[in-house]
A and B are shown apart, each in its own frame.
Chain A
Amino acid sequence: MAERYFAKVVSTPDKYSVVINKGADQDIHVGQKFLIVGLGDIIIDPDTGEELEKLEIVRGQVSAEHVQQKIATLKSCEYVRSSDVKQIKKVTARGGYAMLGPQDTVTESITPGEQHLKIISGAKIGDFVIKL
């Protein structure tokens, strides 16, 4: 395995976590961050025709959640935030106050978007792990 690739994915228990074939024996500690990549096509330089290297397809950024002797469970550590929701409410006054002319009250509220853990998209067994 190339020096750039620290470990390999050996299991994908759910869409937010992966298990790799390195653990406490290789000094992995809880909270340590990694990048999961799969290998794609070889990139060829169009000017020279030289084969540069295989394209690394980023699955996601993860951090060590549980470390065993020879394996470690890594969980996604990236978040996606849904966009804010802007609400504008216009209330027209009725009854006694209406005699003084139309009384409109405009209320503007912004509901902040929610943060969700990003899924490790397309991770599969054999994908590579890069130390960050």
Chain B
Amino acid sequence: MKNKLLSAIFSLSGASIAIGVLGFMAGFVTLFVDINQNISVKWLLFVVLLLVSLIIILLKIIYDLYQHVEPPPPFEVPIRYVRDEEVFVIRRNENFINNIIVGCYILKDDIDRLAYLGVVHLVQDRVIQIKIRYDFKVLGTIPESIDALKNISVRPVVPVTALQQVTNMEDANG
């Protein structure tokens, strides 16, 4: 958000608007006000107070916009695999809520393939555990190294065909 605000202010259109506003205000003032005239302190203080109030309100709006939360990414890359618990650990992401089914996709031969079906097992303060429920045997073994894990993306989206496939396989296994 900060970058968005800064880029909006310091852009070509932002500079054009600023020059335009300054020119308009200067023209407006010289048109109606005699700049050689003495002014009363009362009016000067009033104008200063008005401007300060406006600036404070605008700063508040900018602060609120800055606090506006960016939407979380639609996927997460596992940062660790815990073999004993059969869980992938991902960073906290609000798209992943407790007990939802997630898909673990792997880019193999330039094709995105569903490798594992998982469930959000536990949401901690800063990480989330994804329990692997079904292995589609796309890979021989579940990757554990950091480099291998970077090829996996965990998404809270699962194709219905994958669910049907799992159901069929479970039925076939009795």
Contact = CB atoms under 8 A, between A and B. Distances in A.
Interface string B79-96: 110100100010100000
A27 interface: no
Contact of B127 (A53, A83, A84): A53
Contact of B125 (A35, A37, A53): A53
Interface residues of B, number: 17
Given A43-B80, A43-B89, A85-B174, A58 B122 contact: yes
Interface string A43-62: 11110000011011110000
If over half of A's interface residues share one DSSP class (helix, strand or loop), that class is named, otherwise mixed; here it is: strand
A116 interface: no
A102 interface: no
Given A45-B79, A46-B146, A86 B174 contact: yes
A83 B174 contact: yes
B169 to A, nearest CB: 12
Interface string B43-85: 0000000000000000000000000000000000001101001
Contacts of B124: 53, 55-56
A40 interface: yes
Contacts of B146: 46
Among the interface residues A40, A44, A55, which one has the most CB atoms of the partner chain B within 10 A?
A55
A55 B127 contact: yes
B155 interface: no
Nearest to A35: B122
| Interface range on chain A (Cβ under 8 Å from partner) | 10 to 19
Given A43-B80, A46-B146, A58 B121 contact: yes
A43 B129 CA distance: 11
A83 B173 CA distance: 9
Interface of B: 79-80, 82, 85, 89, 91, 121-122, 124-127, 129, 146, 170, 173-174
13 contacts: A43-B79, A43-B126, A45-B91, A46-B146, A52-B127, A53-B124, A53-B125, A53-B127, A55-B89, A55-B127, A56-B129, A57-B85, A86-B174
